[in-house]
Structure 1
Amino acid sequence: MNERQAQNDRAIAKHGSGPDTTLPIVVYVLHLAGIITGGLTSLVGVVIAYVYRGNGPAWLDEHYRYQIRTFWIALLYFGISGLLTLVLIGFLTWLAAVVWLVLRCVKGLKTLNEHRAPDHVDTWWV
C-alpha cells in the first residue's frame, strides 16, 4: 500500500464516511452459515469476496483476502476431517474446524466493525 492510499484511508476513517461494509459482513455470515449448509453458502461468500476485492480501501481488501483464505483453509480442514471420520477421529477434528471457523469469522467481524484490517491475515490459525 502506498502512502497516498494510507492517507486517504485515514482521512475516510477520521470523517466517519468510510466504505459500505455490508458485503464483507454478508460474506462472514455466509461462512458461518456454511457450517449448517455443508459449505454451500461459503461457496457463495468466496465468490462475492473474489468479485469485490480490489474495489475498496486497503483495509477492506484485506478483509476480502482474509475471507478467501478462510474459505480455502476451511475446505482443507473439513476435507481432512471428512477423511479422518473413517478412523473415528474425524469427528473431533471436524469440531475443531468448526471452532476455528467461528473464531476466525468473529475476529474478522470485530475488526471490520473497527474499520481496520484483520490481524495476521496470512496465518493458518486464528
Structure 2
Amino acid sequence: MTDPTPDTAVPPTLQDDKALPIAIYALHIGGAVTGGFTCLIAAILAYISRKGAPDWLASHYEFQIRTFWLALLFSLISLLLTAVGIGVVMLVAVGLWVIVRAVVGLSHLLKGQPYPTPKNWML
C-alpha cells in the first residue's frame, strides 16, 4: 500500500550541499574557544568552496568570508585597546558577534535560503 503522507524530506543533493557550509559555521562558532584559529580554517574553506557554488550557497560563503575579515579587524583593534583597558571587553564582544552571525547564517542555511545581506557588517 502507498503511504498517504507526502515525503517532505530534503533531497539528498540539497543536504549534501549544506554539509560544508554547516561545518564552516561550526568552525566560526568554535573560534570563540580557539582564539579565532578555526575561523581561519573556516575562511579558507569558504574561499575554496564559493567558486562554482549555487547562488544561494555562494551568499553563505561570502557571508562567512566577510565574518572572518571583520572579526580579524575588530580583534586587532581590540588587542591594541588592551593598553587602555577596554580591549578585553571588546574581544569578548567580537567573539559574541561572531557566534551570533554564525547562528543567524546557520538558521538561513538550514531553511534552504540564501543569506539575505552577506555584505552587511552587522547581521
SS of corresponding position for 1:119: coil
Name the counterpart of 1:123.
Answer: 120
**Aligned residue among 21, 26, 30 for 1:29:** 26
**Larger Rg, first or second structure (1 or 2):** 2
Q: Which runs of 5+ in 1 are unaligned?
A: 1-13
The C-alpha deviation readout for 1:25-72, integer Å capped at 9, x for no partner, is 111111111111121111111111011102221000110000000000
Name the counterpart of 2:82.
Answer: 85
Aligned amino acid, residue 113 of structure 2 = R
Q: What aligned pairs does 1:74-113 form with structure 2 within 5 A after superposition? A: 74-113=71-110
Q: Tell whether 2:17 aligns with 1:20.
A: yes
Give distance in 1, aligned partners of 2:64 and 2:105. Answer: 8
CA RMSD of the aligned region, Å?
1.6
Q: What aligned pairs does 1:30-45 form with structure 2 within 5 A after superposition? A: 30-45=27-42
Between the two proteins, the alignment pairs up a number of residues equal to 113
**Aligned residue among 62, 79, 89 for 1:65:** 62
Q: Which runs of 5+ in 2 are unaligned?
A: 1-7
Aligned amino acid, residue 68 of structure 1 = I
Among the aligned pairs, what percent are the same residue? 41
The structure-2 alpha-carbon separation of the partners of 1:122 and 1:92, relative to structure 1 and needing over 3 Å to count, comes to same
Q: TM-score, normalised by structure 1?
A: 0.83
CA contact (8 A) 2:32 2:99 kept: no
Q: Which runs of 4+ in 1 moved over 6 A?
A: none
Aligned amino acid, residue 56 of structure 1 = A
